Amino acid sequence: MSQKEWPLWEVFIRSKQGLDHKHVGSLHAADAEMAIQNARDVYTRRLEGVSIWVVESKHVHASNPDDAAAFYEPANDKIYRHPTFYQVPDSIKHM
Amino acid sequence: METLELTQEEQFQARIDADMRIEPKDWMPDAYRKTLIRQISQHAHSELVGMLPEGNWITRAPSLKRKSILLAKVQDEAGHGLYLYSAAETLGASRDQMLADLHSGKAKYSSIFNYPTLSWADMGCVGWLVDGAAILNQVPLCRTSYGPYARAMVRVCKEESFHQRQGFEIMQTLCEGSPEQKAMAQEGLNRWWWPTLMMFGPKDSESPNTEQSMKWRIKRFTNDELRQKFVDMMVPQAEFLGLTVPDPNLKWNEAKQGYDFGDVDWEEFWNVVKGNGMCNQERLQARVQAHEEGAWVREAALAHAEKRKQREAAKAVAA
């Protein structure tokens, strides 16, 4: 008996027209077509979606949690990127 | 000024204490990873084996409506198993290894599924009592510290409440039926009450891992707390149905605003855990048989996918 597992796929579902596809979980399937069929059965039994994307998990590249400080903290002191940083006189409308 | 250097493990605990979630690529203590893999895979195995006692009644459901509902419920359980196996895989466990551990008897699953389902009322009891107990266990796990596990539990809990309600409806229909049907409901309750109380696990005093698991927030209430909650929740529902809970020591305790109840037969509990319950062998055998008989399908699908990939590659070269 072959011991080879079916590859792992990440599943993304668009819950309704106009919204983004969102990661919902993963599953095993022999190929993309089967992954989509399985995703239909596993993740949309109650009208959770109108569109499915599947990506083989080995193709997902992720940032490293150890880099979190270097990656994200520089944004902390750039509060001038937010509109609330600026004083708008009360008499100015539509801004 | 004195600087406080936190060890990796202390930083980890601090994140958990702050109710932050741990995600797959984050550092975690080995014991946390191991405990979670064991807990999540046991839970997944329970969903998988849990299909068997109910699958037993699909062909004998009393109406087409009940049959459709039961089919949907059993399909949900397969789905719950899949959500959970995926969560365990994010910790580095392999699906094949988890299944192999289930099939060899190394991994455990909930003992409740080692009891037989003898009558249609048992389908009511499994939904009403067993899934009711499962919900009490599972709702707090939606806030568990490990992200993928918590997210899987949110999905499971959403679906589980349909399971409990359909079980209660089966019981209610039987209780409002003929005297024979009502008796069937009572016999179901008599059979399932105690095994359901065992689902919450050993007494706190005999559950040595509880403290660490609570600290890691992979368990949020103790076994005895949940058992008490369950009794307090279910007794009024049994009264509504006109059924008698099979416990002569059951009594409302005004001071604690909860019920006092009799002691579980712990000898029976450990006996079933050790593999000597009524259906342990039958359940495992059914699982192993399904897995082995499905092997050619898994292999054929892989071979087909490989062949198609090669054909497409050849086409691309030709073009």
* Complex prediction ipTM: 0.88
Residues 78-107 of B with CB under 8 A from A: 79, 82-83, 86, 89, 94-96
Among the partner-chain residues A3, A31, A62, the one whose CB lies closest to the CB of B308 is A31
CATH architecture of A8-85: Roll (3.10)
Tell me how close the Cα of A75 comes to any Cα of chain B, in angstroms. 21
Give yes or no for a contact between B45 and B82, defined as CB atoms under 8 angstroms apart.
no
**Residue A69 touches partner B, C-beta closer than 8 Å:** no
The pLDDT of residue B95 is 95
Mean pLDDT across B21-28: 95
Give yes or no for a contact between A18 and A37, defined as CB atoms under 8 angstroms apart.
no
The pLDDT of residue B5 is 79
Q: Tell me which chain B residue has its CA closest to the CA of residue A43.
A: B79
Instruction: Test A5 with B26 for CB contact under 8 angstroms.
Output: no
**Residue A46 touches partner B, C-beta closer than 8 Å:** yes
Tell me how close the Cα of A79 comes to any Cα of chain B, in angstroms. 24
Instruction: Test B86 with A41 for CB contact under 8 angstroms.
Output: no
For A82-94, write each residue's pLDDT tens digit. Answer: 999 999 999 999 9
Q: Which amino acid is at B297?
A: V
Q: Tell me which chain A residue has its CA closest to the CA of residue B152.
A: A25
The pLDDT of residue B153 is 96
Round to whole Å and give the CA distance between B133 and B127.
10
Round to whole Å and give the CA distance between B279 and A59.
43
Among the partner-chain residues A26, A30, A42, the one whose CB lies closest to the CB of B302 is A30
Instruction: Test B301 with A8 for CB contact under 8 angstroms.
Output: no
Interface mutation target, options A4, A24, A31, chain B, most CBs of B under 10 Å: A31
Give the HSE-up count for residue B120: Cα atoms under 13 Å, Cβ half-sphere.
21
Mean pLDDT across B112-118: 97
Phi/psi of residue B251, nearest 5 degrees: -155, 135
Round to whole Å and give the CA distance between A29 and A35.
5
pLDDT above 50 for A1: no
**Residue A25 touches partner B, C-beta closer than 8 Å:** yes
Tell me how close the Cα of A22 comes to any Cα of chain B, in angstroms. 13
Among the partner-chain residues B83, B96, B305, the one whose CB lies closest to the CB of A25 is B83
Round to whole Å and give the CA distance between B131 and B128.
6
The pLDDT of residue A23 is 96
pLDDT above 50 for A57: yes
Tell me how close the Cα of A5 comes to any Cα of chain B, in angstroms. 7
Provide the residue ranges of all domains of chain A, joining segments of one domain with +: 8-85
Helices (H), B176-262: 179-198, 210-215, 223-241
Mean pLDDT value across chain B: 95
For B49-85, write each residue's pLDDT tens digit. Answer: 999 999 989 999 999 999 999 999 999 999 999 999 9
For B238-256, write each residue's pLDDT tens digit. Answer: 999 999 999 999 999 999 9
Beta carbons within 8 Å of B314's beta carbon, 6+ residues apart: none
Give yes or no for a contact between B53 and B115, defined as CB atoms under 8 angstroms apart.
yes
Mean pLDDT across A55-62: 96
3-state secondary structure (DSSP) of residue B110: coil
Structure tokens at B132: 């009711």
Round to whole Å and give the CA distance between B88 and B94.
8
CA B199 to chain centre: 9
**Residue A2 touches partner B, C-beta closer than 8 Å:** yes
Strand partners of residue B251: B260
Provide the pLDDT confidence category of residue B2 given band limits of 50, 70 and 90.
Answer: low
The pLDDT of residue A3 is 57
Mean pLDDT across B8-32: 95
Q: What residue has token string 């699982």? A: B287
Round to whole Å and give the CA distance between B281 and B285.
6
Round to whole Å and give the CA distance between A25 and B82.
10
Round to whole Å and give the CA distance between B31 and B43.
18
Round to whole Å and give the CA distance between B239 and B144.
33
Tell me how close the Cα of B267 comes to any Cα of chain A, in angstroms. 38
Q: Which amino acid is at A88?
A: V
